[in-house]
């Protein structure tokens, strides 16, 4: 039975195929397809802006988040650890819209504009950094004491232990934080439109304002696609950079 060979592929891709078909029908039914093709140049510009927002805020949040999370585990900074974690946890419970509103409201107080791409980036950055800090801190703290003890006993310096032992072993958890953050950011980025940050939020909020499902869907579906794209890329990246010795064995579908 030749077809049996394709079962794994069918199983893997069936959900995507079904989703794609439904989305396509919605697209067509509500006229989103027509709207997009009529405004192709704008479509590409908005996508570009959206990618820009996501990539810049992710890159900064990733760097700062991993850095901060790591520093919190270092000797001498431990006592700040729990305090920062408490702040981070509270911070994370603020909804996306709230963060955008805070950026809009507070930035003028320190002499910056509350409107435009920069405030949007700042807001997204603050929104994304929390899970990364938290996961980095927890991931490094979770590395087994025995492992650290034997590394110390063997004569590795603290830096060698950090880069060769602690971070590699914490990577799956850190990557988990980065993936969570990316999903949050891609989903929150449309809100940037509200403070003049651009992006696909333009079509979504226009659609809502005009009660036009077509325009709304023309903006919302690319956002979802971008989210899936980033997640797929990051999971591929994770497979490459995380050692096979600590990767969680994938559930076998075949």
Partner 1 sequence: MGIMLSLQEVTKIYPGAEHIKAVDNLSFDLEEGEICTMVGPSGCGKILIDDQNVNRLDTIGLLRSIGYVIQNIGLFPNMTIAENIATIPKLKGWDHDRIAEKVESLLEIVNLPPNEFMDRYPRELSGGQQQRIGVARGMAADPPIMLMDEPFGAIDPINREHLQDEFLKIQAKVKKAIVFVTHNIDEAIKMGDKICLLKDGKLVQFATPEELLTEPVNGFFRDFVGGDRTLKRLNLLKIKAAMKPDPPVIMQNESSEKAKSMFRELKLDHLIVVDNEKRLVGYVDQEALRMASPRYSPMSLAIL
Task: Kindly list the residues in this chain that would bind partner 1 in the complex (CB under 8 A).
Answer: 144, 146-157, 160, 164-165, 168-169, 171, 243-246
Q: How far is the CB of 11 from partner 1 (least distance, A)?
A: 28
192 within 8 A of 131, measured Cβ to Cβ: no
What are the DSSP E strand ranges found in the chain? none
Residues 6+ positions from 68 with CB-CB distance below 8 Å:
84, 129, 133, 136
Q: How far is the CB of 160 from partner 1 (least distance, A)?
A: 7
Q: How far is the CB of 148 from partner 1 (least distance, A)?
A: 8
Count CA atoms closer than 13 A to 39's CA, side-chain side: 17
15 vs 155, beta carbon nearer partner 1:
155
Using CA atoms, how far apart are residues 228 and 211, in angstroms rounded to an integer?
27
61 vs 173, beta carbon nearer partner 1:
173
157 vs 235, beta carbon nearer partner 1:
157
36 vs 169, beta carbon nearer partner 1:
169
Q: How far is the CB of 168 from partner 1 (least distance, A)?
A: 4
148 vs 183, beta carbon nearer partner 1:
148
Q: Pull the structure tokens for residue 210.
A: 């005009």
Phi-psi region of 138 (alpha: psi -120 to 50; beta: other; left: phi over 0): alpha
Residues 6+ positions from 226 with CB-CB distance below 8 Å:
47, 50, 51, 54, 186, 200
Using CA atoms, how far apart are residues 247 and 148, in angstroms rounded to an integer?
19
111 vs 146, beta carbon nearer partner 1:
146
Instruction: Find how far residue 105's CA is from the centre of its chain.
Output: 24
201 within 8 A of 219, measured Cβ to Cβ: yes
Q: How far is the CB of 147 from partner 1 (least distance, A)?
A: 5
Q: How far is the CB of 238 from partner 1 (least distance, A)?
A: 14
């Amino acid at each position: 039975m030749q077809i049996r060979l394709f079962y794994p592929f069918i199983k893997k891709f069936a959900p995507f195929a079904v989703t794609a078909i439904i989305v396509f029908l919605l697209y067509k039914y509500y006229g989103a397809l027509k709207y997009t093709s009529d405004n192709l140049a704008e479509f590409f510009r908005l996508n570009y802006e959206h990618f820009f927002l996501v990539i810049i805020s992710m890159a900064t949040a990733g760097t700062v988040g991993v850095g901060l999370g790591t520093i919190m585990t270092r000797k001498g900074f431990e006592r700040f650890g729990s305090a920062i974690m408490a702040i981070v946890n509270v911070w994370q419970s603020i909804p996306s819209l709230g963060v955008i509103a805070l950026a809009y409201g507070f930035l003028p107080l320190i002499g910056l504009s509350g409107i435009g791409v920069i405030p949007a980036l700042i807001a997204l950055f603050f929104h994304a950094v929390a899970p990364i800090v938290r996961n980095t801190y927890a991931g490094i703290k979770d590395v087994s004491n025995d492992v650290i003890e034997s590394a110390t006993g063997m004569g590795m310096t603290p830096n060698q232990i950090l880069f060769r032992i602690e971070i590699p072993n914490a990577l799956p958890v850190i990557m988990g934080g980065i993936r969570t953050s990316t999903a949050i950011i891609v989903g929150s980025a449309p809100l940037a439109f509200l403070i003049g940050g651009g992006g696909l939020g333009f079509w979504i909020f226009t659609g809502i304002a005009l009660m036009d499902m077509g325009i709304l869907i023309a903006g919302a579906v690319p956002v979802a696609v971008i989210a899936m794209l980033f997640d797929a890329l990051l999971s591929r990246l994770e497979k490459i950079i995380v050692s096979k010795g600590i990767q969680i064995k994938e559930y076998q579908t075949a």
